[in-house]
A and B are shown apart, each in its own frame.
Chain A
């Protein structure tokens, strides 16, 4: 405690420091969300979250890249970013991810939605950590109006910002990984890398029936609304929701049986046909090596510079 730097500040500056950034973030989130919604899915209300099963139409560097190389490289790179410990390398990582985003020419609106999905969790860190981090030697603490219990620790803010930067850098990388190839091809690449083939099949099946069941759920809930059901905070609502989920399960399980029978009737023997032939070329490997070197350089920067 002896060496920590205490800076006394009047209380109103706490408002400046906390409320204004928070308000700015909130306004930005609302604004970005509006943009993101506008740019994706004009026709259906919730289907923005669904990338088309087959959209290998783009022709960027990442679209032609061998899918196996792509998966390995981006996964390794994500883990490399996750292992960074300092703010500056994490910010550089965001820059690298953004460059890749531009190269891959993926839909910006979808990336935005990915980022919006993690805002809640990340903002919790940004708000809580400056106040809750224990003070160490050499920390700079802003104390407002002499209220010692409410010290705003700059080290905590820095730690939270590092976490936020890493989360953003990795979230941005996901879109180039997933939307530069049709999903079946990506999953096929995964199984060629040694994952059990069943994993890919199960993802495809769940993906397909997810939409069936979601439509079923929408039908059920509009039926409930027609009969006068409104969601409130009371036991009756919870009872209705409980029954709703129970009914959803009953219907889906019956459907599951029929789906499986139909699959077997068509000769399903535990395999789907291969969606694409994969061929590894030198430039695929070259791109992977370049990218992985960038990841390794980031870690080196993180560990050696401090």
Chain B
């Protein structure tokens, strides 16, 4: 779920912009210059993955995948998510540009946290990697929901009720996201484990010679 324009107080909106600009700059610094075009192409892949809808009872939920993005891209994930959101705002119909900073924080911070968590605790066996990946996937969405609620509550006590509903609405997404992330990570450990190293860009490059 994205925040739309005009919801947050203007001070929070501007504050989020400043914070996410700083994080984007940090994230870009952690990515090597010549890797940036590659990161752009991979952002497209994550974007497509986030369009996948999964049926959940009578309705369907669509994946948000901040956790997976973090696990695969490491520190570059924030840049990738910011780019994806900018793209969504520019070309797809969702939202204007004033809420961009808040949305980037909402998706990007969980990605960084989950990326770190996954790399730190992934261990060596396939089963453990899939399990930790699932945890990271679920935690990513949960954190995003919590940040959304915090941002809404920043608007004053009038927004408490909406924040609660928004949190509840994310519970099915958290479950689906966790399970799908576990399967995706499990698949990658079998098929292309190199992708799960944060520095995989450099490794594949070395393989190319």
With A121-B4, A210-B48, A245-B49 in contact, is A205–B37 under 8 Å at CB? yes
Q: Determine which of A75, A78, A252, A260 lies in contact with B45 in the assembled complex, contact meaning CB atoms within 8 Å.
A: A252
Best-surrounded residue of A122, A173, A210 (most CB of chain B within 10 A): A210
Q: Interface SS of chain A: helix, strand, loop or mixed?
A: helix
Tell me whether A163 and B7 are in contact in the complex, defined as CB-CB below 8 angstroms, given that A129-B161, A250-B192 are known contacts: yes
CB of B98, distance to nearest CB on chain A (Å): 5
Which of chain B's residues have a CB closer than 8 A to the CB of A122? 4
Chain A interface residue count: which class? 35 or more
Interface code B80-96, partner A: CB below 8 Å = 1, 0 otherwise? Answer: 00011011011111111
Evaluate contact between B57 and A159: CB separation under 8 angstroms: no
Cα separation A4 to B179 with both chains bound (whole Å): 49
Residues of chain A within 8 A of B47, CB atoms compared: 206, 210, 213
Q: Mark B100-122, 1 if CB is under 8 A from A, else 0.
A: 00000000000000000000000
Q: Is A300 an interface residue (CB 8 A)?
A: no
Q: Is the CB of A210 within 8 A of B10?
A: no
What is the number of contacts between chain A and chain B, taking CB atoms within 8 Å? 241
Indicate whether A213 sits within 8 Å of B44 (C-beta atoms), given known contacts A49-B93, A256-B38: yes
In-complex Cβ contact of B48 among A163, A183, A217, A238 (8 A)? A217
Q: Which residues of chain A are within 8 angstroms of B72 by Cβ–Cβ distance?
A: 249
Interface residue total, chain B, C-beta cutoff 8 A = 79
Note all chain B residues with C-beta closer than 8 A to A216.
48
B residues near A90, Cβ cutoff 8 Å: 6
Does the CB pair A125–B162 fall under 8 Å?
A: yes
- B45 and A213 contact, CB distance less than 8 A: yes
Let me know if B183 and A243 touch, CB within 8 A.
yes
Give the nearest-CB partner of A53 in chain B: B91
Q: In the complex, what's the smallest C-beta–C-beta distance from A39 to chain B, in angstroms? A: 14
A-side contacts of B208, CB under 8 Å: 257, 261
B-chain residues with CB within 8 Å of residue A170 when the two chains form the complex: 5-6, 96, 98
Q: Point out the residues of chain A lying under 8 angstroms from B45, CB to CB.
A: 209, 213, 248-249, 252-253, 256
Query: Given known contacts A121-B1, A203-B90, A238-B54, is B33 in contact with A270 (CB within 8 Å)?
Result: yes
Name B residues whose Cβ lies closer than 8 Å to a Cβ of A: 1-8, 10, 13-14, 28, 33-34, 36-45, 47-49, 51-52, 54-57, 60, 63, 65, 68, 72, 83-84, 86-87, 89-98, 157-162, 164-166, 176, 179-188, 191-192, 195, 200, 204-205, 208
The 4 closest A-B pairs by CB, nearest first: A132-B161, A242-B183, A166-B6, A246-B187
Further contacts, 17 of them, CB under 8 A, given A49-B92, A174-B96: A116-B93, A121-B7, A129-B158, A167-B6, A171-B4, A174-B89, A202-B37, A205-B41, A209-B41, A210-B44, A210-B87, A231-B55, A233-B55, A238-B183, A242-B182, A252-B45, A253-B195
Q: Which A residues are closer than 8 A to B by beta carbons?
A: 49-51, 75, 78-79, 81-84, 90, 110, 113-114, 116-118, 121-122, 124-125, 128-129, 131-134, 156, 159, 162-167, 169-171, 173-174, 178, 183, 198-199, 201-203, 205-210, 212-214, 216-217, 231-233, 235, 237-239, 241-250, 252-253, 255-257, 259-261, 263, 268, 270
